Amino acid sequence: MADTSRSGLAASPAAGGEGRYALDDLLTLMAVLRDPEAGCPWDLRQRWETIVPHTLEEAYEVADAIERQAFDELPGELGDLLFQVIYYSQFGREEGRFDFDDVVHTLTAKMLRRHPHVFPDGTLASRRSDGELPESEIKARWEALKAEERAARGAEPVAASALDDVPVTLPALSRAAKLSKRAASQGFDWPDERGVIDKIREELGEVEAALAEGDREHAQSEIGDLLFATVNLARRLGCDPEQQLRGTNARFESRFRHVERELVAAGLTPVTASLETMEAHWQAAKRREREVDQD
Q: How confident is the model at residue 16 (pLDDT cuts 50, 70, 90)?
A: low
Q: Based on the domain organization, do 259 and 286 belong to the same domain? A: yes
Q: Based on the domain organization, do 180 and 232 belong to the same domain? A: yes
pLDDT at 5 over 90: no
Q: Based on the domain organization, do 103 and 59 belong to the same domain? A: yes
Average pLDDT over residues 226-235: 97
| 189 found inside a domain | yes
| 133 found inside a domain | no
Q: Based on the domain organization, do 273 and 209 belong to the same domain? A: no
Average pLDDT over residues 87-101: 97
Q: How many Cβ atoms sit within 10 Å of the Cβ of residue 253?
A: 10
| 248 found inside a domain | yes
Q: Based on the domain organization, do 259 and 288 belong to the same domain? A: yes
Q: How confident is the model at residue 113 (pLDDT cuts 50, 70, 90)?
A: confident
Report how far residue 151's alpha carbon sits from residue 207's, in angstroms, rounded to the nearest whole number. Answer: 38
Q: How confident is the model at residue 14 (pLDDT cuts 50, 70, 90)?
A: low
| 139 found inside a domain | no
Single-letter residue type at 78: L
More confident residue, 70 or 170: 70
| 80 found inside a domain | yes
| 128 found inside a domain | no
Q: Based on the domain organization, do 250 and 231 belong to the same domain? A: no
Report how far residue 265's alpha carbon sits from residue 178's, in angstroms, rounded to the nearest whole number. Answer: 46
pLDDT at 166 over 60: yes
| 21 found inside a domain | yes
More confident residue, 122 or 72: 72
Q: Based on the domain organization, do 28 and 101 belong to the same domain? A: yes
Does this model's pTM top 0.85? My answer is no
Q: Based on the domain organization, do 105 and 32 belong to the same domain? A: yes
Do 282 and 259 touch, CB atoms closer than 8 A? yes
pLDDT at 9 over 50: no
Q: Based on the domain organization, do 47 and 82 belong to the same domain? A: yes
Q: Based on the domain organization, do 210 and 247 belong to the same domain? A: no
Domain stops at, among 220, 239, 258 = 239
What are the residues whose beta carbons fall under 8 Å from the beta carbon of 19, sequence distance 6 or more? 12, 13
Q: Based on the domain organization, do 21 and 100 belong to the same domain? A: yes
Q: Quick one: which of 178, 286, 290 has its CA closest to 234?
A: 178
Domain count, the chain: 3
Q: What is the pLDDT of residue 12?
A: 59
The percent helix, strand, coil of the chain (3-state, each to 5) is: 65, 0, 35
| 164 found inside a domain | no
Q: Based on the domain organization, do 260 and 207 belong to the same domain? A: no
* pLDDT (tens digit per residue) in 245-266: 988 999 999 999 999 999 999 9
Q: How confident is the model at residue 159 (pLDDT cuts 50, 70, 90)?
A: low
Report how far residue 194's alpha carbon sits from residue 184's, in angstroms, rounded to the nearest whole number. Answer: 16
Q: How confident is the model at residue 219 (pLDDT cuts 50, 70, 90)?
A: very high
Parent domain of 58: 13-114
Q: What is the pLDDT of residue 30?
A: 97
Average pLDDT over residues 52-62: 92
pLDDT at 143 over 90: no
* CATH number of the domain encompassing residue 229: 1.10.287.1080
